Amino acid sequence: MTSKPNAGYQVTDRNLALELVRVTEAAAMAASHWTGRGRKNEADGAAVEAMRQAFDTVAIDGTVVIGEGEMDEAPMLFIGEKVGAGGPAMDIAVDPLEGTNLCAKNMPNALTVVALAEAGNFLHAPDIYMEKIVVGPDLPAGVVDLDAAIGINLRELARAKRKDISELTLCALERERHEELIAKTREAGARVMLLSDGDVAAAIAACLPDSRVDIYAGSGGAPE
């Protein structure tokens, strides 16, 4: 959650943060009833409905800017939908069930996701693929470059982390479009961890000090 400097209302308000936990918890609990049942659409629908209802009691004047799709594509939490019980103007990004296949197959890393910012602070992310690269905190600014070859990024990341490239692990979705990325990563000497789904969880893992992931890269959905 972010806020502009000197703003009268801080998005990081503790009470609001706890309310957002409740929103994601409601979606997660609703989706959990469909875990392992092989019905991803039902799981997603349950999460969407529960999250939408939970937002009704949150003290914000919220606008969904990243959600379940355009108004004619989604019954709830569509782009432009107003949510909240009234309060400061906020932009909201939601993914009520990130990793629908993971939930349907009873696999790890399915998540319910909410991000909040003061109005006007979120990029409009249409439902297209975007190139992504994620590394953790406490690294020099510009240590990786989305436009650089993966071999260069791995070299610079290894230098910044005081590791050999062979000690680095890159995480990516196992997709045909990533075959070159995977090959170049291994050619550079780094390890590769492949996931079937769930690039939000993979990006978070790259930011956690105790995970095995040093860098997440590849193309994936812009809303995520």
123-151 burial, b if ≥16 CB within 10 A, otherwise e?
Answer: eeeeeeeeebbbbbeeeeeeebeeeeebe
Residue pair 156/175 in contact (Cβ under 8 Å)? The answer is no
What integer pLDDT is reported at residue 93 of this predicted model? 95
Tokens of 72: 């004619």
Residue-wise pLDDT tens digits, 175-216: 999 999 999 999 999 999 999 999 999 999 999 989 999 999
**What CA–CA distance (Å, rounded) separates 13 from 9?**
8
pLDDT in tens, 50-105: 999 999 999 999 999 998 877 667 778 999 999 999 999 999 999 999 999 999 99
**Structural domains of the chain, with CATH:** 14-118 (3.30.540.10), 129-221 (3.40.190.90)
- Average confidence (pLDDT) over 170-177: 97
